[in-house]
Chains A and B, each alone.
Chain A
Amino acid sequence: MNAEALERYQALPLPDTTQEHWRFTDLRGFDPDVFSRGQTLAVQDVPAKTMLELDVAGLATITESGISVERAPDGITFQRLDEGHERLYSLVGWDEKFAAHNAAVWQHGLLVHVPKGVELDKPLYVRITSSANESALFWRLLVIADPGARFTLVEEVVSSRPDLHAYTNEAAELFVGDGAKLEYVSLQNLSRETWHFASHHARVERDAELDWVAGGFGSKKGKVRIQNDLAGEGATSRVTGAYFTDGEQHLDYDTFQEHIAPNTTSDFAFKGALRDHSTAVWRGMIRVEPDAQKTNAYQENRNLMLSPTTHAVPIPGLEIMANDVRCTHGATVGRVDREQLFYLMARGLTRSEAERLIVRGFFEDVLARVELEPVREALATALEARIPQG
């Protein structure tokens, strides 16, 4: 137990809609302290439905009862994260309510450390399964790519049952050393009764490359924070997001592209489709620090409304303190056009087939950015599966 973080957690009020970052995410009805936690829980031994079938080099699973590393490749560190690790909390500390909650009480963490120059052909994979009803699950990832290392980490977050009531809270700290390349995939498909909060923060050093894929399909409500620091000259980060909401779901992505060093590039593109009464907030901030000349930064959020009762709020933002930069952004909320639908149906496609084709087409350019084919296919399948059969 981290006493300082706990104190901070207890001192911070639950965010409400008077705070700018929570203006569209109303947490009324949620009390993070009513969910039980700890290893004594009876975890239901139900295999969760996963989205991915991957041939992996390392495999770890996290549940309420702990972390288990089932396979780890030689020559790297892929193991249980120790509370005393020197880099812990250096990117995600306890300055915010949910980060503080995680820092205060987390128990299960994964440490991934790939030494200098080591390249892994196959991805590392961690599956987090929320499986105890009325319970909280906290976990942390600490990922270190030493200079020149190249590897992929895939994280999949699921629930053991579609009706599970839960609270999940993740903190991920990722260090991409000079000239390293990290591909990080984070797929979230929690139950519709799960409050989900996550803080991901990556630091990208000189000439390093971070390629990130975020998929959001499940959960009830919460917030996912993604911060990338372009800390070394020539650093590049690319974040690709795809989400699909329906029913009463509410997703919130809060992204931050922090350009610290000169000649750095960041490219964030999120696309989402919404059905029924679901809502989504996407907030983007590009900040270019005074020394970060020749920054090239892009942010984009596009939404497709499949029902007139959905609501999407894209909020792009720029804060530029250098004078020789290129920053662009785009944000749209569109709907399926009746004429487009008629055109496809006039060729014999049923309404749902036509919708599925339009949705697939809408996501095509973000899916094309996903380098790992099984991940790309899993995302496409998950997206299309959300269109009801007509």
Chain B
Amino acid sequence: MHVALEDGTEIVKGVDLAVNMDEVHAVMGPNGSGKSTLAYALMGHPAYEVTEGDVLLDGESLLELEADERAQRGVFLAFQYPHAVPGVTVTNFLRSAINSVRKARNNGEDDPIPIPEFRKEILAQMDRLEVSRELASRYLNDGFSGGEKKRIEILQLAMLKPRIAILDETDSGLDIDAVRVVANGVHELVGPDMGALVITHYQRILNFIKPDFVHVMVNGRIVEEGGPELAHKLEAEGYERYGKAA
């Protein structure tokens, strides 16, 4: 897959990945290597154009679909910098999102989640992710700390139950305890119904979400691939041997 910006600048210059259910893939690379662009392009951000190649989910192309339709089919992106939506509580937002996905999966007919079921699940997931229950009634990401935002991203992941979870630098800005909680939260969701693509600069999150495959991305290309041992090697040696990032 190739991805360019609106001005035509090519950022992702040929990346070929296949993630199966129950697999964790890590994409590692230095800053500016195109990792986040890859994540945005997979989710369907309008500022990034896929100029070559395709994005397939269960064999079906997603390229012509907008972000909402991709999400409804089971693509999830945990944002590096989640956006604030003042005036909309975490609870209301999550219920709206779940109901949108349920409606899409019910051939466009409303199929709202029963409130008791929703309540029970969100409280259980919040406890599991060690998210303060008080956050549920606060406005989405409005004044949240970096750690709270990332936990709320994973809470959304747990509630929406996608087929493929793409984590964009979810570990950045977190202390090690928070990385552990967040990573364990994701790790427990990986299984026969979900695969994960973990995009990261550092190896430490991979201590908690064991990758089955590691792909090293530099300057828009995958330059090396291997098993989990590759992540440890990168941690020790850095990215310099792949040359300077563009």
Contacts and interface: CB of A to CB of B under 8 A. Distances in A.
Interface stretch (B18-26, B85-93, B120-128, B196-204): B85-93
A348 B66 contact: no
Interface of B: 43-47, 66-68, 70-72, 76-77, 79, 82-88, 92-93, 96-98, 100-101, 104, 139, 156, 160
18 contacts: A340-B84, A340-B85, A342-B45, A342-B67, A343-B85, A344-B85, A345-B67, A346-B68, A347-B160, A348-B72, A348-B100, A348-B160, A349-B96, A350-B100, A357-B85, A360-B88, A364-B139, A365-B87
Contacts of B67: 342, 345-346
Nearest to B156: A347
Contacts, number: 79
A283 interface: no
Nearest to A362: B87
A360 B68 CA distance: 19
B85 A350 contact: no
A344 B156 CA distance: 11
A337 interface: yes
Contacts of A106: none
Contact of A349 (B68, B86, B87): B68
A363 B86 CA distance: 9
B101 A346 contact: no
Interface string A334-373: 0001111011111111110110011011111100000000
Please give me the 8 A-B residue pairs with the lowest Cβ-Cβ distance, nearest first.
A361-B87, A364-B87, A348-B71, A361-B88, A347-B97, A345-B67, A348-B101, A343-B83
A345 B71 CA distance: 8
A351 B88 contact: no
Q: Is the interface of A mostly helix, strand, loop or mixed?
A: helix
A368 to B, nearest CB: 9
A346 to B, nearest CB: 5
Given A346-B77, A357-B96, A351 B86 contact: no
A343 B79 contact: yes
What interface size band does chain A fall in?
20 to 34
Given A337-B83, A342-B45, A348 B68 contact: yes
Given A345-B68, A364-B86, A338 B46 contact: yes
Contacts of A340: 83-85
Contacts of B76: 346
A344 B96 CA distance: 10
B194 to A, nearest CB: 16
Contacts of B104: 348
Nearest to A352: B68
Nearest to B166: A346
B43 to A, nearest CB: 5
Q: Which of B82, B93, B100 has the most CB of A within 10 A?
A: B100
B43 A346 contact: yes
A180 B97 CA distance: 45
Given A346-B77, A348-B98, A351-B68, 14 more contacts: A338-B46, A342-B67, A345-B66, A346-B44, A346-B71, A346-B79, A347-B71, A347-B156, A348-B72, A348-B160, A350-B100, A357-B88, A358-B85, A364-B139
A349 B45 contact: no
Contact of A353 (B45, B96, B139): B96
A348 B76 CA distance: 9
A361 B45 CA distance: 23
